[in-house]
């Protein structure tokens, strides 16, 4: 006869109600609970609950007495969390239930009335949206600070000559200030993408309830306005299932991380002994455990390395969402850890890069020496032959190549060739050619819009300050150039 087995009856889950008589197994509790990471949303959760309570009172759904008790209780819960006195419980699954349970403990049955006309689905959609909006604002402000650091250093090095590279081979002389301003433009586009993302996300999902709306006579515009949104979301199904804004933020953060990594790579190269273009202080370098002479640009290398986890978060969210039918699935709980980690990582990278830019010291003599090598003014010679002799550019290019070959055979620079040597290749060359064969003349001549001439760089710095630094960053609930509620 088969042995009879018994199953111990677990305590019911009080948050799910009487339908679930058996409590979850330990492994279910472990996989289901999100409080370990979504407690990061406590401020947004409490703010959303306070706005919801105010609206319920205004609509006559809650009494004023209950509304006051809820607001006071929520304030106390927030204080407990921020003072480290709050005891989070995995049995209560998430930040929403943890806050609600503590609120009910503090104020009694009124705490249970707070969840009227909402669901955890629109509650978490609201919390994540508010958190991401705050993250966008922080990052946008930090990128502005990075741009300011780059612009300040560009002004300092507006006339400092360095080699410009293609294929990491010396191409033409440029100025260090011009090079730094290129990154100002990149980070300006990153800020623009963040502002675009913020504008689209600035709609409130609160009031969509579980997925279909609610029969209670709520005022979604009331809570939207109170929380700094432009409007409520138009479709309740979309409101609880949308995570586009998270994907957009992670996409913008990923491209920003790529830009940071490119600059970090250049810093690593510039610090290396063969280059010696810049030096970083001990604040942003480390030593070796065995080689006492080493000064390693670890901050730059770590920025370069963190791109993988930020881009990985973007890919993870796209993969998470690609197969989900409307509306909410528990899969969506997995949106938060990649979001939080990527936001922390990108902010750390921007802060470290800003510090390095302010810290670095250039080596103008070394930069100029490398810029002068490898016949970097050859294009200037070809351009001179076009302007002064009237050669078609292709013919000028061929003649210049012959002159470079002759200089290389003699082991000298172009400006060390005699006039006779030059005229042997192109008889119409005059002594005036020597005026364009210095790196100073080369950069000064490139006055076309966006070019590297020091005079251009000075104007570009002035323009960059106006475009990127004089416009204030958006405050919470506001989109640049757009009135709230428009």
Catalytic residue set: 167, 288
Helices (H), 272-414: 298-321, 336-359, 364-372, 378-384, 393-410
Nearest Cα neighbor of 165 from 188, 182, 190, 184 is 182
Residue 121 CA to residue 233 CA, distance in Å, equals 14
Residue 456 CA to residue 459 CA, distance in Å, equals 5
Residue 211 CA to residue 236 CA, distance in Å, equals 6
CB 206, CB 52: distance < 8 Å? yes
Backbone phi, then psi, for 404, in 5-degree steps? -65, -40
- Using DSSP's 3-state secondary structure scheme, residue 200 falls into helix
Q: Is the peptide bond before 327 cis (omega within 30 degrees of 0)?
A: yes
CB 39, CB 97: distance < 8 Å? no
**What is the sign, positive or negative, of the torsion defined by CA atoms of 408, 413, 417, 421?**
positive
CB 55, CB 218: distance < 8 Å? yes
Q: Where are the beta strands (DSSP E) in 147-225?
A: 161-166, 169-175, 203-204
What would you measure as the largest C-alpha separation in the chain, in angstroms?
113
Nearest Cα neighbor of 328 from 127, 120, 128, 129 is 120
Rounded to 10 degrees, what is the CA torsion of 225, 231, 236, 241?
A: -90
Residue 165 CA to residue 376 CA, distance in Å, equals 10
Q: Token pair of 2, please?
A: 């088969």
Crossing angle, helix 336-359 and helix 298-321, to 10 degrees?
160
Beta strand 161-166 with 278-279 is unpaired
CB 336, CB 249: distance < 8 Å? no
Q: Which residues pair with 162 in a beta bridge?
A: 174
Nearest Cα neighbor of 244 from 182, 294, 180, 318 is 318
Q: Which residues pair with 376 in a beta bridge?
A: none
Q: Token pair of 345, please?
A: 């990582």
Nearest Cα neighbor of 299 from 315, 287, 286, 309 is 286
CA angle 452, 458, 460 (to 5 degrees): 70
């Amino acid at each position: 006869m088969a042995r009879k087995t018994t199953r111990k009856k677990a305590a019911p889950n009080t948050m799910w109600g009487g339908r679930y008589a058996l409590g979850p197994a330990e492994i279910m509790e472990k996989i289901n609970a999100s409080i370990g990471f979504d407690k990061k949303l406590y401020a947004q959760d409490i703010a959303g609950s306070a706005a919801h309570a105010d609206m319920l009172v205004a609509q006559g759904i809650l009494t004023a007495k209950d509304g006051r008790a809820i607001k006071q209780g929520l304030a106390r819960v927030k204080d407990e969390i921020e003072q480290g006195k709050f005891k989070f419980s995995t049995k209560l699954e998430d930040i929403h239930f943890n806050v609600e349970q503590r609120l009910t403990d503090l104020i009694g049955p009124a705490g249970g009335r707070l969840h009227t006309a909402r669901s955890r689905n629109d509650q978490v959609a609201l919390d994540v949206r508010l958190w991401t909006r705050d993250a966008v604002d922080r990052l946008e402000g930090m990128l502005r600070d990075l741009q300011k650091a780059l612009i300040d250093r560009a002004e300092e090095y507006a006339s400092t000559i360095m080699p410009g590279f293609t294929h990491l081979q010396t191409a033409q002389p440029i100025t260090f200030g011009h090079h730094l301003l290129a990154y100002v433009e990149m980070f300006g586009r990153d800020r623009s993408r963040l502002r675009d993302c913020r504008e689209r996300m600035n709609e409130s999902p609160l009031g969509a309830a579980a997925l279909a709306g609610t029969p209670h006579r709520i005022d979604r515009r009331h809570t939207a306005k109170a929380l700094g949104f432009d409007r409520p979301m138009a479709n309740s199904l979309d409101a609880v299932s949308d995570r586009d804004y998270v994907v957009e933020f992670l996409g913008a953060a990923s491209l920003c991380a790529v830009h940071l990594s490119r600059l970090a790579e250049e810093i690593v190269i510039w610090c290396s002994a063969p280059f010696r273009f810049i030096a970083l202080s001990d604040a942003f370098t480390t030593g070796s455990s065995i080689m006492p002479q080493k000064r390693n640009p670890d901050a730059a290398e770590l920025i370069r390395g963190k791109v993988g986890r930020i881009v990985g978060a973007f890919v993870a969210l796209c993969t998470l969402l690609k197969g989900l039918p409307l509306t909410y699935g528990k899969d969506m709980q997995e949106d938060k850890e990649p979001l939080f980690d990527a936001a922390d990582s990108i902010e750390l990278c921007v802060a470290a890069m800003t510090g390095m830019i302010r810290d670095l010291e250039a080596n103008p003599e070394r930069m100029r020496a490398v810029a002068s090598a490898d016949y970097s003014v050859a294009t200037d010679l070809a351009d001179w032959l076009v302007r002064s002799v009237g050669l078609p550019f292709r013919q000028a290019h061929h003649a210049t190549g012959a002159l470079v070959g002759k200089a290389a055979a003699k082991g000298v620079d172009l400006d060390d060739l005699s006039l006779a040597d030059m005229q042997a290749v192109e008889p119409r060359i005059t002594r005036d050619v020597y005026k364009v064969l210095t790196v100073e003349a080369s950069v000064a001549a490139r006055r076309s819009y966006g070019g590297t001439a020091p005079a251009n760089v000075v104007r570009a710095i002035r323009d960059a300050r106006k475009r990127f630094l004089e416009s204030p960053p958006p405050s919470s609930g506001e989109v640049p150039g757009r009135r709230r509620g428009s």
